[in-house]
A = this chain, B = another copy of it.
Amino acid sequence: MYWAPFNLIMHNMGKINKEGHLLMTTKEHSDVMHQYNYYFRHMNPNQSTPYSYQPYHFNNEYYTNTTQNGLIDQNDLYFRQHILTFVLIHGSWADPTFWNGIAGELRKMGHIVHTPQLPGHGTDKNKNVTHAMITQSVVEYITTQNLKNIILVGHSFGGSVIQKVAEQLPDRIKRLVFWNAFILKDGESMADQFPPQGQQFILGLAQQSPDHSIKLPFSYFREVFVNLADLQTAQQIYNSTTPEPSAPLTEKLDLKAFYQLTIPRSFINLLEDTAIPAGETYGWYPHMASRLGIFRFIQGHGDHMTTAKLQPRKVAHLIVNAGRD
C-alpha cells in the first residue's frame, strides 16, 4: 500500500520478472531508489531537507508488505540499497552451515555472501590445527578469490580470527563486525576470557579426548548455547556440532598490530547470549566490546546459536545494520 508506487515504478520500467525478482543493475537500482525517495518519501536524497521519517525499516521492527502475488518483500528492497560483500566467519563447534539461514536472507537482499569453513571444523576431521592455520585459511580464501571492500563478520570464536585476518589484509576490509565475538587483548587466549569455572570445565573436556578436541555435553550446551530453543530445536542444533579443536582456544595471540588498525568496526550483541556469562570482569558487552574503542553498537534479542537458526532474517537485518556505510 505505502509501497505501491515503488512497485509501480518498477513494473512500468519492466524491471520485475514474473518470479518477482528485480532485474536491474546496481546503478539502475540506485537511480530508482533516488526517484522513489524524491517523489514518495518527499525526500531529496541529496539534501538534508525536507525531512520525512521512515519508521518501516528501523531497529528490529520490519513491516512485511505482502503484495497481491506475494512475490516481493519490500524490506528486502530497502536492505539492498547498498550491495555489500560479506565474509562470515563461524565460531567454535560450528561450520558454514551455521550461516545457512542468514546467508540466504542476505542474498535475498542482494548482498554477496561468503562463508568459508575453518580448518578443524565441519567436514574437516583433522583436529590438529592452530589459530595461525585457521587465520591463514581465511586469508587465502579472501586473496584467492580477490575479494575487496569486504564486511568481515566474526561470530564467537570467529572474532579472534577476524582480528588476526585484519592484521594481514587491512586494505581489503571495509569494516569488521563482531557478533557476540571474542575480542582479545594482545597476549591473551580465548580461555583467558572464560570465567574461572568455565575455563576448568572446557579444558577438562579437552584432556579427556584422545585428539584434545572438546565435545560439550548436551545438558550444558542446551542451557548455555541454545537457552531460547525448544528441546527439539536444541537437539537439532547440538547434533549439527562437531568437536572443537582445543589448541586455538588456549594459544596466546600476538595482537599488537590489530590495535594499530583504524578499520571501522561494529559490535552486535544478542541480549540473551550466555555462551560467555555476564560478569564484572568478563562477558560480551560491554566488557569485550569496549576493547574496540569507537565502534557502532547494534543489539537485539537472541541467544548464541538458536537465533541464527530460527530468526535468520532478524539476524541478517542486524548484520546489515552493523555492516552498512
Residues of A within 8 A of B (CB): 37, 43, 45, 48-49, 51, 53-55, 57-60, 81-82, 101, 197, 219-220, 222-224, 227-228, 230-233, 235-236, 239-240, 264, 271-272, 274, 277-280, 283, 285-286, 290, 293-299, 301-303, 306-307, 309-313, 321, 324-325
Contacts and interface: CB of A to CB of B under 8 A. Distances in A.
A115 to B, nearest CB: 16
A275 to B, nearest CB: 11
Contacts of A303: 297
Nearest to A238: B48
B59 A264 contact: no
B223 A310 contact: no
A235 B324 contact: no
Contacts of A307: 58-59
Contacts of A306: 58
14 contacts: A51-B240, A53-B101, A53-B310, A55-B311, A57-B230, A58-B306, A197-B293, A223-B294, A227-B296, A227-B298, A228-B298, A271-B299, A279-B290, A280-B280
A290 B277 contact: yes
Contact of A299 (B51, B301, B312, B325): B301
A321 B233 CA distance: 13
B45 A232 contact: yes
